[in-house]
A = this chain, B = another copy of it.
Amino acid sequence: MVDTQPLLNALADARVRSTEPRRAVAELIASRNGHFTARELVDDAAGLRLGVGRATVFRALELFVDLGLVERLDLPSGEHAYVACEPTHHHHVVCSLCGRSTEVEDCGMAEVAREVARRTGYRIERHRMELFGVCPECRAATNWNARATAG
């Protein structure tokens, strides 16, 4: 459950209009824990009878991505997913079990990019780094289960 404010603020600020459907999508996004798919939001909206259509969800997502408040991820499965995030350059670690995601800045990635540029002669303009694993909570849960099962 992410704070709705940043998304709502963005609507207030930006050169875009603050509309009811957009606020609704912002809330749906904020109410989600980890990553989510466009379809999930569409289904949420339908389930809650928000009167927010598919196209609007996609358009709102695109808007938030442009504003840097939501990032699009490519899961290892090939699925497209999104996560709410800070509008600064950063990366995500995604939990394969619960879908929760955590932001991390740099961690040495910039240096890696520089090294790659050095070695290949490419002028690196952008990069994408996504990490997948198991979050602390799920690790704990898993260990607990393991013990419980083993015992």
**Residue A95, interface by CB 8 Å:** yes
Given A122-B136, A135-B122, answer yes or no on A76-B128 (Cβ-Cβ < 8 Å).
Answer: yes
Contact A124 B93 (CB under 8 A): yes
Contact A120 B93 (CB under 8 A): yes
Considering only CB atoms, which chain B residue lies closest to A135 in the complex?
Answer: B122
Chain B residues with CB under 8 Å of A120's CB are 93, 102, 104, 135-136
Residues of A within 8 A of B (CB): 72, 74, 76, 78, 80, 91, 93, 95-96, 102, 104, 107-109, 111-113, 115-117, 119-136, 139
CA distance A72 to B143 in the complex (A): 33
Considering only CB atoms, which chain B residue lies closest to A112 in the complex?
Answer: B108
Considering only CB atoms, which chain B residue lies closest to A115 in the complex?
Answer: B107
A140 to chain B, nearest CB (A): 10
